[in-house]
Amino acid sequence: MLEIKACIFDLDGVVVDTAKYHYLAWKRLASELGFEFHEKDNERLKGISRLDSLNILLEIGGVTLNEKEKEFLAVRKNQWYLEYIAKMTPDEILPGVRAFIDELKVNRVKIGLGSASKNAVLILNQLGIIHLFETIVDGTKVSNAKPDPEIFLLAARDLNVAPSQSIVFEDAEAGVEAAIRGGFKCVGIGNPAVLFKANIVVPNFIGMTMSKFLSLIN
Ligand code: BG6
Ligand code: MG
């Protein structure tokens, strides 16, 4: 029987639905640059760094810019994004997540965060759950973005657990790939057609317990 000693959560789209705020801010930037950014293309921006996201957005719009201009636009997008997340409350923690984390605490399973976001600490504070995470590895701490496994490997190292005894929860294709490449068990949260590389995919955390996850993974 598989023994799980740690759970490592992605943030955006797993703990909280910030993906919609990222989308709104990128859409606003696209519109300023004179092109439309559709929700179906937003999938490509999930899990990857701010600058990588901007490069994909510019490619979609057929816009070529130098590094300085890109830096300016990334800051501009982030300012709008920060305005959206400043209004967030603990009510926005996705359904079932808090109950699952509470179950992990009772069973002494270690809890980490592995997010590409440079706003992760701000968001966890806003949601009032920062104290629940024993390590927070975010976009300010890594040099290689997902799908590189660095984020999750650092979290596992901090928690002193082997990747094979840890579950990563991810909503993005790049994140699932990072987890699998790192040797972790991976639960995809969302669309099985997108997250097919995960060990299992569930739509959300509603009613989910560790024993349910384990029975699905095995
Ligand atoms: C990831 C999101 O969690 O963080 C991406 O899925 C986002 O969409 C990335 O681009 C970086 O976030 P931030 O907050 O540093 O701009
Ligand atoms: Mg995500």
Q: For residue 218, what pLDDT is reported?
A: 77
Percent of the chain surpassing pLDDT 70: 100
Mean pLDDT calculated for residue range 20-26: 95
Domain 6-16+91-217 superfamily per CATH? HAD superfamily/HAD-like (3.40.50.1000)
For ligand 1, pick from 50, 52, 85, 136 the residue to mutate: most ligand atoms within 8 Å of CB: 50
Q: Does the CA dihedral 81-149-130-200 come out positive or negative?
A: positive
Give the pLDDT band of residue 174 (cuts 50, 70, 90).
very high
Give the model confidence (pLDDT) of 116-141 as tens digits: 999 999 999 999 999 999 999 999 99
pLDDT at 1 over 80: no
Centroid of ligand 2 to alpha carbon of 215 (angstroms): 24
- Report d(CA 89, CA 43) in Å as an integer: 25
In this prediction the pTM is 0.95
Q: For residue 5, what pLDDT is reported?
A: 98
Locate the ligand 1 atom nearest the alpha carbon of residue 52 and give its number: 10
- The DSSP output letter for 93 is B
- Report d(CA 28, CA 116) in Å as an integer: 21
Fold (topology level) of 19-85: DNA polymerase; domain 1 (1.10.150)
Question: Token digits for 208?
Answer: 């989910």
Q: Which ligand is nearest to the Cα of residue 116, counting in written order?
A: 1
Give the model confidence (pLDDT) of 30-40 as tens digits: 999 999 999 98
**Domain residue extents for the chain:** 6-16+91-217, 19-85
Centroid of ligand 2 to alpha carbon of 162 (angstroms): 22
